[in-house]
């Protein structure tokens, strides 16, 4: 499969499975692998299958469409879709045996209505805001939400299977908000248990907390980015026994000799210091290569790490490879595990002022995705 650019996102399914196994082994308790946002850009269904092959107990996605796509592909594992706005098709969720989450009374009412419509009791998670101020019911609203959920459970409309929250600073393991959030979470759990919601799993830990904060593990952990082998703490994934699953590569489309003083790409923000060879790489910001990578981001080309010369354009960028031998068709690696001298997504993130999460979830456009490894393959 080619579109003429040779631009590929290569995903190593065995790495996803191995990372999941490392994390699962480390925590010694159930693990929900988060596969939202098309498996963090690695492919929803193959990533989910690979994580399950690696020992994930459950899957988590943000929106219902992602959950239904997994079910349509034949993935039967327990599955939570947590970001449901008003009017979400909760009946479809319940019919497909998808667990849902609510954080407000109106959401609970919609779940109860869907349960009655379908005759299928919901498996529900209640989301507490313990300090992130994002999803989740505030502690002011929590007792009322819990009481309403307990009534609905007694009525047979649902079972509360999860009590959960999300961390603000897990990637800064000594931050004072961490202890504070854990304490608020325990308080929220206490309120729910006192209301009779005694069978729910407590889950709080994202990747960073899974790697660094055992006090946050409770009954289940919920890692995303670490499953794909990226270090949630922004360091070296290998320190945690993780291996990046994604390699992003393209092929040189054109080379040319130019004299010293040639202005390169829009705005001439790079000028050749000497006579040199330029290599054109046919991927750009329309494909998820950040424009901020101009004169900043590293790639592996012609046997060495080189910085992109001048601006990243919509469809292409340029490299100054000096006198290295390079020809059209030669491979250029933007990022990968780092084991073959190529940069890592973390190095790209550092160079472009973002986080690897954003890079891997946005890479796409004219890159084709292909898979290596066999974990979870059907
Ligand atoms: C995305 C997300 C996760 C996973 O986060 P990572 O940092 O990728 O591990 C877990 N829980 C919630 C609520 C999320 O939104």
pLDDT of residue 160: 98
Q: Is 223 in the pocket of ligand 1 (CB under 6 A)?
A: yes
Q: Is 225 in the pocket of ligand 1 (CB under 6 A)?
A: yes
Kindly give the distance from the C-alpha atom of residue 204 to the centroid of ligand 1, in angstroms, as a whole number.
9
Asked if residue 66 lies in contact with residue 81, where contact means CB atoms within 8 angstroms, the answer is yes
Element (H, E) at 144: helix 142-154
pLDDT of residue 378: 73
Task: Choose one of 205, 206, 211 to mutate for the ligand 1 pocket test, by most ligand atoms within 8 angstroms of C-beta.
Answer: 206
As a three-state string, the secondary structure of 31-64 is EEEECHHHHHCCCHHHHHHHHHHCCCCEEEECCH
pLDDT of residue 306: 98
User: Which stretches of the chain score pLDDT less than 70?
Assistant: 1-4
Asked if residue 7 lies in contact with residue 368, where contact means CB atoms within 8 angstroms, the answer is yes
Kindly give the distance from the C-alpha atom of residue 305 to the centroid of ligand 1, in angstroms, as a whole number.
32
Kindly give the distance from the C-alpha atom of residue 306 to the centroid of ligand 1, in angstroms, as a whole number.
33
Q: Supply the residues annotated as catalytic.
A: 36, 266
pLDDT of residue 3: 60
**Shortest-distance Cα residue to atom 11 of ligand 1:** 206
Q: Is 229 in the pocket of ligand 1 (CB under 6 A)?
A: no
Please provide the size of the chain in residues: 378
pLDDT of residue 2: 53
- The Cα–Cα gap between 184 and 175 comes to 15
pTM above 0.95, yes or no: yes
pLDDT of residue 377: 83
Domains, in order of start, for the chain: 57-226 (3.20.20.10), 246-372 (2.40.37.10)
- For 161, residues 6+ apart whose C-beta sits below 8 A from its C-beta are 99, 123, 124, 125, 199, 200, 201
């Amino acid at each position: 499969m080619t579109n003429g650019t040779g631009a590929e996102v290569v995903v190593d399914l065995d790495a996803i499975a191995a990372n999941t196994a490392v994390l699962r082994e480390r925590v010694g308790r159930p693990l929900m692998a988060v596969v939202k946002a098309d498996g963090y850009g690695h492919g929803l269904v193959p990533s989910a299958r690979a994580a399950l092959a690696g020992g994930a107990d459950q899957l988590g996605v943000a929106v219902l469409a992602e959950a239904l796509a997994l079910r349509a592909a034949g993935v039967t594992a327990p599955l939570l879709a947590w970001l449901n706005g008003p009017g979400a098709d909760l009946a479809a969720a319940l019919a497909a045996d998808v667990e849902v989450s609510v954080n407000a009374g109106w959401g609970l009412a919609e779940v109860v209505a869907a349960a009655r419509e379908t005759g299928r009791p919901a498996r529900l998670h209640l989301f507490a805001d313990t300090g992130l101020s994002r999803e989740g019911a505030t502690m002011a609203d929590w007792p009322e939400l819990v009481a309403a959920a307990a009534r609905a459970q007694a009525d047979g409309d649902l079972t509360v299977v999860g009590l959960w929250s999300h961390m603000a600073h897990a990637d800064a393991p000594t931050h004072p908000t961490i202890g504070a959030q854990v304490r608020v979470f325990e308080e929220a759990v206490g309120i729910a248990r006192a209301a009779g919601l005694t069978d729910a799993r407590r889950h709080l830990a994202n990747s960073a907390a899974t790697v660094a904060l055992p006090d946050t593990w409770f009954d289940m952990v919920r890692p995303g980015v670490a499953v794909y082998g990226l270090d949630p703490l922004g360091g070296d994934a290998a320190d945690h026994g993780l291996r990046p699953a994604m390699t992003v590569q393209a092929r040189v489309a054109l080379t040319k000799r130019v004299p010293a003083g040639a202005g390169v790409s829009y705005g001439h923000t790079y000028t050749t210091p000497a006579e040199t060879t330029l290599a054109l790489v046919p991927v750009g910001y329309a494909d998820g290569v950040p424009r901020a990578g101009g004169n900043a981001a590293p790639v592996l080309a012609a046997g060495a790490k080189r910085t992109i010369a001048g601006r990243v354009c919509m469809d292409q960028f340029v490299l100054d490879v000096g006198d290295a031998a390079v020809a059209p068709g030669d491979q250029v690696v933007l990022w990968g595990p780092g084991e073959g001298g190529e940069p890592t997504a973390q190095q790209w993130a550092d160079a472009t002022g973002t986080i690897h999460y954003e890079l891997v979830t946005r890479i796409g456009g004219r890159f084709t995705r292909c898979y290596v490894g066999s974990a979870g393959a059907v």
